């Protein structure tokens, strides 16, 4: 059946399509299907080569694709060749635009890829990642119109480097700024990420009550927005904290749920981690 074309510019329709591709990839990612999310982006990347693809729309697509590629490289251990390629392309688009906020976003993406790569290095060296993050930070703090998501990402990632370098006071300050920004703007996924790391900082400081509150917030937000991808990890962290606080029933519930969800998603090593934590819990309580 023939359908008449929509009476609006092709560039506008293409922008909507690129955004829909990102949303579909996000849906797969939220469901824990990272490979499928990557396939969605890979199958649609050629759309950026069309003459009607506007730089701003291409940049948004590349940022989402690049962030996913960085996480995919980290979690599947396949490396970061694709992520670096996307970061370079994003930087080219951003620099051509001359827009400071876009350049900051591209710097942040490049730093993120270097950050994930450094996590697996021995010894881990976050100086390259930090260099990009600090340049992005300088830009967002001297540019008036910066998308909230870009501002959050930069603050959060600067905090990550401080955390990995065990400068927890500074990390906590940046996580707090990122958390408050996400909270004020309804960025629930981002709020959960900042809450998780605020919980870690509190845990290291032996403030277990605050840590439990933040970890519980992460689990609650993930349930609310349907984000399954990292929920088993969050449940294990919350369960371990409940165990340390002597809240055995709550710990058991969290760990059992983590094991079940990990098996449903095919993450066997995480299921085994949850099972091991459950076994330790039962052994400790049976004495």
Distance CA 153, CA 14 (A): 26
**Ranges of CATH 1.25.40.10 domains, the chain:** 147-218
Averaged over 222-246, what is the pLDDT? 95
pLDDT at position 5 is 66
pLDDT at position 267 is 85
Percent of the chain's residues with pLDDT above 70: 97
| Core vs surface per residue 85-97: b (16+ CB within 10 A) or e | ebbebbbebbeeb
Distance CA 228, CA 173 (A): 28
User: Which residue blocks in the chain are alpha helix, DSSP H?
Assistant: 10-30, 34-44, 55-76, 81-97, 100-119, 127-142, 148-164, 168-185, 188-204, 208-225, 231-244, 248-264, 268-286
Instruction: Kindly state the tokens that stand for 184.
Output: 């004020």
Task: Pick from 51-65, 72-86, 273-287 the range whose average pLDDT is largest.
Answer: 51-65
Contact 73, 92 (CB under 8 A): no
Instruction: Kindly state the tokens that stand for 121.
Output: 């290095």
Conformation bin of residue 117: beta by default, left when phi > 0, alpha when psi is -120 to 50: alpha
Instruction: Kindly state the tokens that stand for 119.
Output: 């996590």
| Whether the bond into 123 is cis, omega within 30 of 0 | yes
Residue 199: phi and psi, rounded to 5, are: -65, -40
Distance CA 268, CA 92 (A): 39
Contact 242, 250 (CB under 8 A): yes
Instruction: Kindly state the tokens that stand for 187.
Output: 């960025």
Averaged over 215-232, what is the pLDDT? 96
In tens, the pLDDT along 136-172 reads 999 999 998 999 999 999 999 999 999 999 999 999 9
pLDDT at position 230 is 92
pLDDT at position 287 is 61
CATH topology of domain 147-218: 1.25.40
Distance CA 114, CA 117 (A): 5
Percent of the chain's residues with pLDDT above 90: 89
DSSP string, 139-193: HHHH-S---HHHHHHHHHHHHHHHHHTT-HHHHHHHHHHHHHHHHHHT-HHHHHH
Mean pLDDT of all residues belonging to the chain? 95
Overall residue count recorded for the chain in this entry: 287
pLDDT at position 286 is 78
pLDDT at position 269 is 87
Decide if pLDDT at 77 tops 90. no
CA distances from 157 to 49, 167, 174, 268 (A): 31, 14, 9, 29
The pTM assigned to this predicted structure is 0.93
Contact 87, 109 (CB under 8 A): yes
């Amino acid at each position: 059946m023939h359908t008449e074309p929509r009476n609006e510019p092709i560039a506008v329709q293409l922008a909507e399509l690129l955004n829909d591709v990102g949303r579909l990839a996000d849906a797969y990612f939220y469901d824990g299907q990272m490979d499928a999310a990557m396939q969605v982006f890979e199958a649609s990347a050629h759309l950026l080569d069309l003459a009607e693809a506007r730089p701003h729309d291409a940049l948004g697509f590349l940022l989402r694709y690049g962030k996913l590629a960085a996480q995919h490289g980290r979690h599947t251990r396949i490396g970061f060749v694709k992520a670096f390629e996307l970061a370079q392309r994003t930087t080219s688009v951003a620099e051509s635009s001359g827009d400071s906020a876009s350049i900051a976003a591209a710097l942040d993406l490049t730093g993120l890829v270097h950050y994930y790569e450094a996590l697996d290095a021995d010894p881990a060296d976050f100086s390259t990642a930090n260099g990009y993050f600090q340049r992005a930070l300088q830009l967002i703090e001297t540019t008036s119109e910066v998308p909230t998501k870009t501002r959050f990402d930069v603050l959060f990632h600067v905090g990550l480097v401080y955390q990995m370098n065990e400068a927890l006071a500074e990390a906590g300050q940046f996580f707090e700024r990122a958390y408050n920004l996400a909270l004020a703007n309804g960025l629930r996924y981002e709020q959960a990420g900042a809450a998780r790391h605020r919980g870690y900082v509190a845990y290291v400081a032996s403030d277990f009550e605050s840590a439990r509150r933040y970890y519980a917030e992460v689990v609650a937000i993930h349930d609310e927005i349907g984000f399954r991808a990292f929920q088993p990890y969050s449940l294990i962290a919350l369960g371990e904290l409940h165990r340390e606080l002597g809240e055995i029933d709550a710990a058991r519930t969290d760990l059992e749920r983590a094991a079940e969800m990990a098996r449903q998603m095919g993450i066997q090593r995480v299921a085994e981690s949850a099972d091991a934590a459950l076994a330790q819990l039962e052994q400790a309580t049976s004495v």
